[in-house]
Structure formats: C-alpha cells, structure tokens
C-alpha cells in the first residue's frame, strides 16, 4: 500500500515539474505575472510603509501627497512674479542688501515683486520697501511682457514691505500658502529678477525658521533658505513645493554681494497683515509705550533685589511724556506682562506693545523690587521711522 502511494506521489511531482518546464519555455510571462502578484512580493513595501512612524511617517505622507514636481511649482508661481524698475530719488543704502545698484541721485534700480491680488482692471503687488524707497517712478513688467507704471499704495520700513497698484487687467495672481506649515528641510523656490537678467528660478530648502535679532528690520521673524538669491531678487517670491507663496525675499548675508546660501524671506502671514493695513490706512499703526529696555541678567536681578525666578524685561529708560511715564513706569522696573502677554526679552516686549491698538488701555504688570505692581496705560501710536 505504501509503495503504491509513493509511486503516485512521485508521478505527480514528475508531471508538475514537466508542466513548469513547458511553461518556462513557452510562456515565461505567465510565471513572472504570478510572482509579481503574489503576497510575498508586496509584503516588503507594505511592511516598510507600516513600520514608519513619527516624523518619518509624516515626511513620507507629505511626499506621497504632493501632486507637483518643482518644475510644476515654478510654472504655477512664475507668472505672478514681476520685475520692478525704479528711477529718480536718492540711492538707498541697506545692510545685507540685494536691491538695485546705481550711482548718484538719478538711478535705475532693479527689483522684484509678487502679484497678490487682481480685481477687474487693476491689481496689487507686494515688494520690499527698499526696492521702491524714494523712487520718483516705478515701472512693473510682467512675465508675459506687459508693462505698467505703478502707484505706491503704502510702505512699512520697519518690516521692509511695500504695496503697489498696477492698472492692468487679467493679472495672474499667485496662490498663497502658509509659512507656519513649513519645516526645516522642506524644498522651496526663490523666483525673481537677479542682476536684471530676467526672471530666474532657484531651488533650495528651508534652512531655519523664525530668525530674529539679525539687525535687518525692526520686526523680524525670517525664513532662512539656501536657495540662490542675488541682487535684484528683493521683493520676489519664496514658494513651497506646491507653488504657493510662503515668503517675500528680503535680504542676504554676503561679504561679496553675491549669494553664499544665506537668504532671508519675510513670512507671508506678516506680509498679509502689513498689506491689509497699507490698503486700508496707507500705513501700519502700531502700539507704543516709550521705554528703553534691556535683558535681565543674574547680576542685575541680585542688585535690584528681584525674585530669583523672575522672567521679564528691565526698563533702562522712560521717554518724557510717553504713555509709560504717564502710567507710572520707572527706570529699574521689570515689565513681566503686557495685557495678557508675558514678556521675557526686549524683542517680545516690542512685539507685544506693537500689536496693541493705539488709543486702547492695557495693563502693565511690573516687578518693582520685591513688590508686584499693576499699572494702567493708554497705548500711544508708534512714531513713523525717519
């Protein structure tokens, strides 16, 4: 009995091997299709996707969800980036600039801008203040060849932003993204008119976020990028991998004037806030208290007999007749809170006060020696910088 079963098994194996040999010789594609559709073939990919977690999983999902290549992102954004030429006025000097070059009182400067709004027969262009500062004439050229003389709606030197109006119909408006969604390492494109050679696209990554205390502007929270940026890119677009505007290119760090991979862009959220204020008022109205402040060091805390765990900003001086003086703020006080906002550095104090509406009342929490004091202050309007 066992002998018969063994013979049957051997014959079945022989027939099966013969069938495989015939298929491999005459129809090899049948075997390849079966292998590719087997669960074992798809298991490694499924395992790698399922095994990803945390930041790695988020990065993988972001890459898979992105519908555009960088070429497509450039094609989407580039039509809304314009070249800006200025003439007349005094030449503007600027730390770490990449604006236009020129000599003497009469100049022809070059910069860039971004069409952020189009309505009927006109539209609005965001650019840098230093591109159009003191210009007697501003000309804008679109990527499709159209040109127009622009009207300066308003400018904000403290953020280095300006808003122009151009009388042209059917303007290509850029899609707006969110710089708050950016992560270090995300791909970005810088689009502008470097050295006046014509529209140019360069690629890089986000190198850092919320760069402050660079001494470029009064109000700073820059996006840093290594995308190549050169003179003439000022006011141009920094766009994400989907072609959406996330920043306005504003400055570079360079000893030679050319790109060394340290470029800085103004976040689009700040640019939009400034744009709305310029459209409605022609200027940006910010709160003002009239104090000179400095960092609170351990030595100062000990000398002023302050609590060792205190967080705040030391008042070094109070301007005569200012809202702070009228509220009773004194040199040597430590401001710990403005309204509902805690402050711990001169920059945070500046920003907290600037966000207040001029004319409104607010509380100032002050530490005076061992005593905590609450003062009532009426917010002043920040003077226009010269």
Copy the structure tokens of residue 159: 């953020």
- On the 0-12 / 13-18 / 19+ scale of CB atoms within 10 A, 122 is middle
HEC assignment per residue over 90-155: CCCCCCCCCCCCCCCCCCEEEEEEEEEEEECCEEEEEECHHHHCCCCEEEEECCCCCEEECEEEEE
Cα angle 228-231-236, degrees, rounded to a multiple of 5: 70
Q: What 8-state DSSP symbol labels residue 256?
A: S
Tokens 């074992």 -> residue: 40
Which residue of the set 133, 160, 226, 333 is catalytic? 160
Between helix 2-26 and helix 28-36 the angle, nearest 10°, is: 100
Cβ-based neighbour number of residue 56 at 10 Å: 10
Copy the structure tokens of residue 383: 């003077």
207: annotated active-site residue: no
Cα angle 262-253-227, degrees, rounded to a multiple of 5: 25
Copy the structure tokens of residue 263: 């470029």
Which residue of the set 83, 129, 130, 179 is catalytic? 130
Q: Measuring CA to CA, which residue among 335, 282, 338, 275 is closest to residue 311?
A: 335
d(CA 295, CA 344): 8
Q: Are residues 317 and 292 in contact, defined by beta-carbon separation less than 8 angstroms?
A: yes
Q: Are residues 213 and 281 in contact, defined by beta-carbon separation less than 8 angstroms?
A: no
Cα distances from 218 to residues 10, 171, 335, in angstroms, run: 88, 32, 20
Q: Measuring CA to CA, which residue among 176, 245, 225, 217 is closest to residue 351?
A: 217
234: annotated active-site residue: yes
Task: State phi, psi for 269 to the nearest 5 degrees.
Answer: -65, -45
d(CA 167, CA 275): 18
Q: What length is written for the chain? A: 386
Tokens 């298991």 -> residue: 43
24: annotated active-site residue: no
Query: What residues have CB less than 8 Å from 326, skipping those under 6 apart?
Result: 377, 378
Which residue of the set 112, 179, 234, 250 is catalytic? 234
Which amino acids are annotated catalytic?
A: 130, 160, 234
């Amino acid at each position: 009995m066992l002998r018969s079963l063994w013979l049957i098994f051997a014959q079945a194996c022989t027939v099966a091997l013969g069938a495989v040999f015939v298929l491999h010789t005459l129809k090899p594609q049948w075997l390849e299709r079966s292998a590719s559709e087997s669960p074992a073939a798809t298991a490694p990919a499924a395992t790698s996707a399922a095994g990803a977690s945390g930041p790695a999983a988020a990065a993988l999902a972001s890459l898979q969800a992105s519908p555009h290549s960088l070429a497509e992102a450039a094609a989407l954004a580039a039509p809304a980036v314009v070249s800006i030429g200025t003439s007349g006025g005094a030449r503007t000097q600027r730390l770490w600039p990449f604006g236009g070059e020129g000599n003497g009182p009469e100049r022809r400067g070059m910069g860039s801008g971004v069409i952020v709004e189009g309505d009927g027969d006109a539209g609005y262009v965001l650019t840098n203040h230093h591109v159009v500062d003191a210009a007697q004439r501003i000309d804008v050229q679109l990527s499709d060849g159209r040109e127009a003389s622009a009207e300066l709606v308003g400018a904000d030197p403290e953020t280095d932003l300006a808003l122009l109006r151009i009388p042209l119909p059917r303007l290509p408006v850029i899609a707006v993204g969110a710089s708050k969604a950016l992560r270090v390492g995300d791909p970005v494109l810088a689009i502008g008119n470097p050295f006046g050679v014509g529209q140019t696209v360069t690629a890089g990554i986000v190198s850092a976020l919320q760069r402050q205390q660079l001494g470029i502007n009064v109000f700073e929270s820059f996006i840093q990028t290594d995308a190549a940026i050169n003179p003439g890119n000022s006011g141009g677009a920094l766009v994400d991998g989907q072609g959406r505007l996330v920043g306005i290119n504003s400055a570079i760090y360079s000893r030679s004037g050319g790109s060394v991979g340290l470029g800085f862009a103004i976040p689009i959220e700040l640019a939009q806030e400034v744009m709305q204020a310029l459209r409605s008022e022609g200027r940006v109205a910010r709160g003002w208290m009239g104090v000179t402040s400095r960092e609170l060091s351990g030595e100062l805390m000990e000398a002023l007999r302050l609590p060792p765990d205190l967080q705040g900003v030391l008042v070094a001086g109070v301007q005569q007749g200012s809202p702070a003086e009228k509220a009773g703020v004194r040199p040597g006080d430590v401001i710990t809170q403005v309204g509902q906002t805690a402050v711990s550095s001169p920059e945070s104090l500046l920003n907290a006060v600037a966000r207040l509406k001029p004319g409104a009342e607010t509380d100032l929490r002050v530490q005076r020696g061992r005593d905590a004091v609450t003062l009532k202050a009426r917010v002043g309007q920040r003077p226009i910088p010269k």
